[in-house]
Amino acid sequence: MTVRVPVSPDVLLWALDRAPDPDAVASAFPGVDRWVSGEAEPTVKQLHDFAARTGTAYGYFFLPIPPAIELPIEDFREGFEGERYRSPSVNLLAVLHQSLRRQDWYRDYAIDNGFAEVAVVGRASGMTPAEAAADMRRELNYEVRNRVGNWNDQRKRLLTAFEDLGGLTVVTSMVENNTHRPLDVDEFRGFSLIDDMAPLVFVNARQTINGQLFTLAHEFAHVWRGVGGISDEDLRYEPQSEIERWCNRVASELLVPGADLRERYSAVSGLGLTAQIERLASDYRCGTLVVLQALRRERLYEFEDFQADYDAEVVRLRGFERSESGPGGQFNYNQPYRIGARLSRALISDAMAGRTRFTDAARLMSGLLHV
């Protein structure tokens, strides 16, 4: 006798909505509409398969209403124009919990090997944004005069510098190496996990390189502040959170130092706004949107409507900028950043020494280690 399971329509719709690919799931289960309407009920096997395809714990389907799933870290996302964030997606939870597992493993590894605490964690909690940014530039060796190469080079340099201080980094646009599970940049841009031995910053690479640079700077600011969380930073808006306002200001000052900008501005002040920000972005090796905000921050340009100018620049950039997820992508180019050099070296070393099983190392490296 076939055993069928009564399931709340609300829970079914909730699970379907948060699935990595709702359309693919609906196609794989053509009877789901009848389950939702109450005309039919899934079998035990069908429900197990549906749970696996939607990334939902099987036990949730026995609840009368969808569960309230909370993030295990502080949520600094505010949304704009009255928007509210829905329940965390399966993909967000996957990369977040993977990052927590990696951090836990590396913390134990660092302690076992007698590593010192990462000195910059929480060091700027009493500093002004300008003071914190100056300290970050010194520690990361990222003074304006030292910035050479293209924007990809800047990302690599910042990632390497942070790992040299003892931190961990992850830059990816997907869950593990699964191109069918892309991360949603509208859901989050990055997050930081604070730990004295293993601070970790995660950057959603579905945004442009310029966007990634600002997110990196913003998450570094969280580490220097000693308060981690998930962010959706956007320079058009002033966050309600004092911590997010501080981190945005620090990130802006890190990439475009105010004192330096005031010195350089006279050379471009006679140009149109677009020419100004392009010239300055080339000097600072960052995005024009960050420069645009810095001009407002330092009151160097008289904006009649900053948001209109910002939105116009976004439209202009969309004509020639594309993220890692765009046509052609940069899958192999970005592969080294999906786990970070510090963690991968530690895992390989520990596995070769016989202290960590190769299967466990491969799991933490998301299948990048072939065994």
Quick one: tokens of 323? Answer: 């993220």
Quick one: pLDDT at residue 369? 38
What per-residue string of b and e applies to 149-184 under the rule 16 or more CB within 10 Å gives b? eebeebbebbbebbbebbbbbbbbbbbbeeeebbbe
Quick one: pLDDT at residue 323? 45
69 has pLDDT over 90: no
Quick one: tokens of 321? Answer: 């900028």
Q: In degrees to the nearest 10, what's the CA dihedral of 264, 265, 271, 273?
A: 120
Quick one: tokens of 149? Answer: 């190469």
What average pLDDT score do residues 151-175 get?
A: 96
What is the distance between the alpha carbons of residues 310 and 333, in angstroms, rounded to a whole number? Answer: 30
Closest among 328, 286, 317, 334 to 150, alpha carbons compared: 286
325 has pLDDT over 50: no
Q: In degrees to the nearest 10, what's the CA dihedral of 295, 296, 302, 304?
A: 130
Closest among 109, 136, 108 to 120, alpha carbons compared: 136
What average pLDDT score do residues 332-350 get?
A: 83
Q: Are 5 and 47 in contact (CB under 8 A)?
A: yes
Q: How far lies 262's CA from each of 110, 272, 306, in Å?
A: 43, 17, 19
What is the distance between the alpha carbons of residues 63 and 332, in angstroms, rounded to a whole number? Answer: 42
Helix axes 341-352, 151-164, angle to 10 degrees: 50
What average pLDDT score do residues 316-340 get?
A: 63
Show the DSSP H helices in 113-208 as ranges: 129-139, 151-164
> pLDDT-derived band of residue 370, with 50, 70 and 90 as boundaries?
very low
Q: Are 214 and 204 in contact (CB under 8 A)?
A: no
The string of pLDDT tens digits covering residues 242-294 is: 999 999 999 999 999 999 999 999 999 999 999 999 999 999 999 999 999 99
Quick one: pLDDT at residue 198? 98
Pairing between strand 200-204 and 168-172? parallel
Residue in the block written with tokens 């951090």: 103
